[in-house]
Amino acid sequence: MPSADPTPLADPSADLGLHGARAVVTGGTRGVGAATVRRLTAAGAHVVAVARNQAPVPTGVRLVTADLTTADGVAAAAMAALDHLGGIDVLVDNAGRNTQVPDGVLAATDDDWQANLDANLLSVVRLDRALVPHMTAQGHGAVVHVSSNAARYPQPNGAPYAAAKAALNAYSKSLALACGPHGVRVTAVMPGVIETDAVEASLRQAAERTGRDLEAIRKEFHQRLAAPLGRPGQPEEAAELIAFLASPRASYLTGIAVSVDGGILPTL
């Protein structure tokens, strides 16, 4: 596959109309979430990032530590975020995790299914339930769900993850229908392969499982990446779409699920 030159990233100072917006980004300390925190901060938003562990965040960003796979963790995160921001205009439900099942779909245990549902669906449903009513009450707001191309293109070792993300897409549409009349937009973003710690970890797991060389596995993975753009994406490229959808520039967009994948999804 031809390898394209790296594409220049969008100007992070381009005005999105998010100056002063109060935003919560889950999973905001690494990968796509951290890039989204940087993008929203550059756009002038007040941002709360949520993650389980302490980590560096940009100046002015408040980090709230909570495990969003538990109902208690979600409640604590929502309360701390509202307390700090005094309200909410933008919610980016980005935290999620692919608990893979290398032996295939029929080998997936109840625990595998539950872990994927907790991390990718219930965490989002619970946080939305705590925060979205503040948006509907004020008559405006934007919710962006970070889903995955896997929702439309499941892989054999990731059936529970794909099913959880497909359910997230369906839920996202339902929420958009319910919240539209109250001025709140709900959209979903489906990354393809974005170079983050999560992707690196799955390559390492494959190397450990097979006893093969990590670099050989990485090379093979890049060769198999049938993206028309010929490369994996960068977190900033996903963050740009998320920030756009969260902004008033996307004022007539709701109920959609958009891929950011270099064209890798082989279907319409």
Active centre residues (catalytic): 161
Q: What is the smallest separation between the CB atom of 248 and ligand NAP, expressed in angstroms?
A: 24
218 binds ligand NAP (CB under 6 A): no
Q: What is the smallest separation between the CB atom of 161 and ligand NAP, expressed in angstroms?
A: 7
Among 32, 117, 132, 164, binds ligand NAP (CB under 6 A): 32
Tokens of 181: 């009349």
Instruction: CB nearer to ligand NAP: give 75 or 182.
Output: 75
In whole angstroms, give the CA distance from residue 141 to residue 146. 17
Q: Is 35 exposed, middle or buried (0-12, 13-18, 19+ CB in 10 A)?
A: buried
Q: Rounded to a whole number, what is the distance in angstroms from the first to the last CA of the chain?
A: 21
203 binds ligand NAP (CB under 6 A): no
Give the H/E segment covering residue 37. Answer: helix 31-42
Q: What is the smallest separation between the CB atom of 22 and ligand NAP, expressed in angstroms?
A: 19
Instruction: CB nearer to ligand NAP: give 135 or 150.
Output: 150
61 binds ligand NAP (CB under 6 A): no
Instruction: CB nearer to ligand NAP: give 94 or 172.
Output: 94
Residue in 150, 143, 223, 251 with CA at minimum distance from that of residue 192: 150
Tokens of 79: 């309360």
265 binds ligand NAP (CB under 6 A): no
Among 41, 69, 116, 172, binds ligand NAP (CB under 6 A): 69
72 binds ligand NAP (CB under 6 A): no
Tokens of 114: 């539950």
Phi and psi based region of residue 184 (left: phi greater than 0; alpha: psi -120 to 50; beta: remaining): beta
158 binds ligand NAP (CB under 6 A): no
Q: Is 266 exposed, middle or buried (0-12, 13-18, 19+ CB in 10 A)?
A: exposed
**Binding region for ligand NAP (CB under 6 A):** 26-33, 50-53, 67-69, 94-98, 119, 146, 148, 191, 193-194, 196-199
